């Protein structure tokens, strides 16, 4: 759909845009410009003249339509871990007396870790209850303060029904917090229609904003003025440059800003969002399903060693497909060496992301041929591929 | 000392490196390389092959000597606000039963705001006591859990005696947390010698790492394995890629990592630290004092309208000089329009930073001539200079 907008290295089929999106050509230009013409030439004046100060909110408004959020309900900054913490802390404050944060084993671990850290601080008998993804709906009851879920399982691609689970949370009087790490830019999301209270996500996966690009947080507009910022930094203050001794939160979503925004990363994100101009998320979803279905069918036909661990029905999947294989780590290294880049998740999951902005059916067929070759020849069975790196 | 390492725009004398350092030439190259050759060509492999994963600790070790910290005691990431929160939360846990966070009115507001937010979460009768800078030592008693101070006052440049105040804190059984925002790269700091428990700081001021560059946190090595990470993100986990459900902090300082590091900003920081190779902080300090003394003497002689609000004795000052002037905002705008860039802090403070890496006595004399001209001609008395921008 937008292949020519990206820098895609020769000889590589990149099926890991669900982990780190490739470089949009404009992002390279934009960052160079921000470094040279803004930081270099404007120096401190960049905060006003290049609009750095407002980037977190401006980019929030650019991103909002991709996740079904209204204007002025999203702000960028920090990391997803930090944004989870902010949302969770604010959500708990909205349900005093309730003691349970409900999550599932398919949540990305950092969300659970951040909840642990928060509980460890607060004490007060707050409990993190982690059930299997299938059991979540049975555990949403009136003890639950916040239901905290990642919509698309990072290992299997299993897709939660956001509308239905949010409704159940609301029926039980709980607040819903959705992590959209594997949703934003991957499939249509309707935060507003689902009446979700809080959502968070990252921008370095399907949104292609680069390694370590800022995270986002959404707060439902009718709640934003009452959401208590646990991480009450000066950039979320009502008047940051009054330098008052006491904290006064900004009205609306900007209270979820914390410290000085990462201007160079914001520049890359801005350019990455240019690529999305005029793109229909419904069309992206349709193409992603076509590509994923094709991949599953071909791999299952040609590589009996690999066992599908993603849901078979596309309605229940995000935009990735995962196969289990005992030697999955080494097999993925062999694939990468052969130019097909996916990734591995412990203990045995080989993940492949399908990103229609720059991946087409031809890429998928070529990738399958490489997978087949490696499985048939056991090319993974070499010491060099079994050696674990720091980042798997 | 290193003027040719920086991109300094024609016709500008930059006395605002205490707010945002100028662009090191190498940083522009390094960022371009990280974007193109690493993100662009290596894609996800950059985490291992380009060393992105280890950057927060590697850069911590590069920065450590500049603040008198031993190896493996400093880690980069997030913003200063976040790092203050982490240090404060960990410090409070080390002194259970004690109820006071002691700070002063000269602290940068975000430090106080973050403390407020933390207290609001914890409850438990914790109190933030904010006294005047001169009164701190009289209020360090056995009620104090954490003494949280910024060494150099952002408005006046007043310098706290870190050794003496830390000793007093320790005598009272309190933990010392120092914010080095205006110290790191400005003057010699001896964290190890002073036995400071926690220190935090930013890298976009005197360290010249660019707008929104990552912050740092120091934890005294003998305490690091027991410091409880309130912001327990996956990058601080003992085994981030095991994807365990439960959090297990990494040994040592790396537990203070939270989420995915901002790789592009880290690249700029890496190049900015190259400039510091072989630079003596004692020599920087000596030259900074010379420049500041010259500026004060000349301004006081030639601009009687301006009232020095920085300490007159250089031993009690950091690397900036501030003058109060009722129309300080407009006067600073007039100065900037004339090519002398300082900044303004409410209500009436004109700040000038002295950064010997790229400012010399000739620059100072030229700047004073412009200040004198503007004050003599009341050039500030124009509507265009009085209009407040978002960032002052």
Query: Is B163 inside any structural domain?
Result: yes
A188 and A314 both lie in a single domain: no
| pLDDT (mean) for A210-235 | 98
Round to whole Å and give the CA distance between A371 and A380: 11
**Collapsing DSSP states into helix, strand and coil, what is residue A218?**
strand
Task: Give yes or no for a contact between B25 and B2, defined as CB atoms under 8 angstroms apart.
Answer: no
> Hey, which residues does A128 pair with through a beta bridge?
A101
The bridge status of strand A307-308 relative to strand A343-345 is unpaired
B173 and B148 both lie in a single domain: yes
CATH code of the domain in which A35 resides:
3.40.640.10
A42 and A179 both lie in a single domain: yes
A232 and A306 both lie in a single domain: no
pLDDT computed for residue A193 by the predictor:
98
CATH code of the domain in which B300 resides:
3.90.1150.10
Query: Is B18 inside any structural domain?
Result: no
Q: What is the pLDDT of residues A344-378, one digit of tens each?
A: 998 999 999 999 999 999 999 999 999 999 999 99
A107 and A167 both lie in a single domain: yes
A297 and A148 both lie in a single domain: no
pLDDT computed for residue B388 by the predictor:
87
Query: Is A1 inside any structural domain?
Result: no
Q: At residue A392, does pLDDT exceed 90?
A: no
B97 and B208 both lie in a single domain: yes
B112 and B244 both lie in a single domain: yes
Token pair for B84: 């203050």
- Which residues in chain B have their CB less than 8 angstroms from residue A39's CB? 20, 23, 210-211
A181 and A291 both lie in a single domain: no
pLDDT computed for residue B389 by the predictor:
84
Instruction: Report how far apart, in Å, the C-alpha atoms of A342 and of each of A178, A300, B7 are.
Output: 25, 17, 40
A142 and A270 both lie in a single domain: yes
Q: What is the pLDDT of residues B106-141, one digit of tens each?
A: 999 999 999 999 999 998 899 999 999 999 999 999
Length reported for chain B: 392
Catalytic residue flag (residue B108): yes
Q: CB neighbours of B386 closer than 8 A, spacing ≥ 6?
A: B327, B329, B330, B333
Place of tokens 């400005």: B186
**Collapsing DSSP states into helix, strand and coil, what is residue A383?**
helix
pLDDT computed for residue B146 by the predictor:
98
Dihedral of CA B72/B78/B80/B85: which sign?
negative
| pLDDT (mean) for B141-155 | 98
Query: Is B7 inside any structural domain?
Result: no
- In chain A, pLDDT over 70 holds for what percent of residues? 100
Closest by Cα among B235, B263, B264, B265 to B250? B235
- The H or E element that residue B22 is part of is none
Catalytic residue flag (residue B247): no
Query: Is A103 inside any structural domain?
Result: yes
Query: Which of the listed residues B225, B248, B274 is the one where a domain comes to its end?
Result: B274
Query: Which of the listed residues B274, B303, B325 is the one where a domain comes to its end?
Result: B274
B247 contacts A112? CB cut-off 8 A: yes
Mean of pLDDT over chain B: 97
A36 contacts B265? CB cut-off 8 A: no
| pLDDT (mean) for B160-174 | 98
B252 and B162 both lie in a single domain: yes
DSSP output for A164-189: HHHHHHHHTT-EEEEE-TTTTTTS--
Query: Is B243 inside any structural domain?
Result: yes
| pLDDT (mean) for B211-231 | 98
Query: Is A391 inside any structural domain?
Result: no
pTM here is: 0.97
Mean of pLDDT over chain A: 97
Find the CB nearest A122 among B53, B122, B235.
B122
What is the predicted ipTM?
0.97
**What's the domain count of chain A?**
2
A27 contacts B215? CB cut-off 8 A: no
Catalytic residue flag (residue A378): no
Query: Is B5 inside any structural domain?
Result: no
Residue B348: which domain range? 280-386
Round to whole Å and give the CA distance between A118 and A127: 10
- Dihedrals phi, psi of B330, to nearest 5 degrees: -65, -40
Q: How far is B66 from chain A (nearest CA, A)?
A: 22
Whole-number CA gyration radius for chain B:
21
Catalytic residue flag (residue B205): yes
pLDDT computed for residue B99 by the predictor:
97
Find the CB nearest B20 among A44, A118, A261.
A44
pLDDT computed for residue B71 by the predictor:
98
B237 contacts A109? CB cut-off 8 A: yes
B158 and B225 both lie in a single domain: yes
What confidence tier does B158 reach under pLDDT thresholds 50, 70, 90?
very high
Query: Which of the listed residues A220, A244, A274 is the one where a domain comes to its end?
Result: A274
């Amino acid at each position: 759909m937008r292949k020519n907008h990206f820098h895609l290295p020769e000889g590589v089929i990149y099926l890991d845009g669900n982990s780190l999106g490739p470089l949009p050509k404009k992002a390279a230009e934009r960052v160079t410009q921000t470094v040279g013409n803004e930081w270099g030439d404007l120096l401190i004046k960049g905060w006003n003249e290049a609009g750095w100060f407002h980037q977190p909110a401006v980019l929030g408004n650019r991103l909002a339509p991709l996740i079904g959020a209204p204007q002025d309900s999203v702000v960028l900054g920090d990391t997803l871990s930090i944004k989870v913490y902010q949302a969770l802390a604010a959500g708990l404050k909205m349900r005093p007396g309730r003691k349970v944060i409900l999550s599932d084993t398919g949540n990305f671990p950092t969300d659970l870790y951040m909840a642990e850290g928060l509980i460890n601080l607060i004490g007060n008998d707050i409990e993190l209850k982690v059930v299997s993804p299938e059991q979540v709906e049975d555990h949403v009851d009136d003890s639950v303060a916040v239901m905290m879920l990642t919509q698309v399982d990072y290992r299997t691609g299993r897709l939660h029904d956001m509308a239905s689970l949010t409704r159940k949370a609301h029926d039980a009087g709980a607040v819903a917090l959705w992590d959209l790490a594997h949703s934003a830019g991957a499939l249509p999301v309707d935060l507003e229609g689902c009446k979700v209270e809080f959502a968070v996500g990252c921008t370095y996966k399907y949104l292609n904003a680069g390694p370590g690009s800022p995270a986002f947080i959404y707060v439902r507009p009718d709640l934003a003025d009452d959401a208590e910022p646990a991480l009450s930094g000066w950039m979320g203050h009502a008047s940051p440059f009054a330098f008052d001794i006491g904290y006064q939160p900004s009205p609306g979503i900007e209270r979820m800003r914390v410290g000085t925004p990462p201007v160079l990363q914001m520049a890359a994100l801005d350019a990455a969002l240019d690529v999305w101009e005029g793109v229909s998320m419904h069309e992206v979803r349709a193409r992603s399903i076509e590509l994923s279905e094709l991949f599953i069918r071909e791999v299952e036909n040609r590589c009996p060693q690999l066992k599908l661990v993603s849901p078979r029905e596309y309605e229940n999947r995000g935009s990735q497909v995962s196969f289990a294989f005992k030697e999955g780590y080494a097999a993925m290294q062999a694939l990468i060496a052969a130019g097909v880049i996916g990734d591995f998740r412990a203990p045995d999951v080989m993940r492949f992301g399908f990103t229609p902005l720059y991946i087409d059916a031809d890429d998928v067929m070529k990738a399958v041929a490489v997978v087949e070759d490696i499985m048939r020849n056991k090319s993974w069975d070499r010491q060099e591929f079994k050696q674990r790196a720091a980042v798997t």
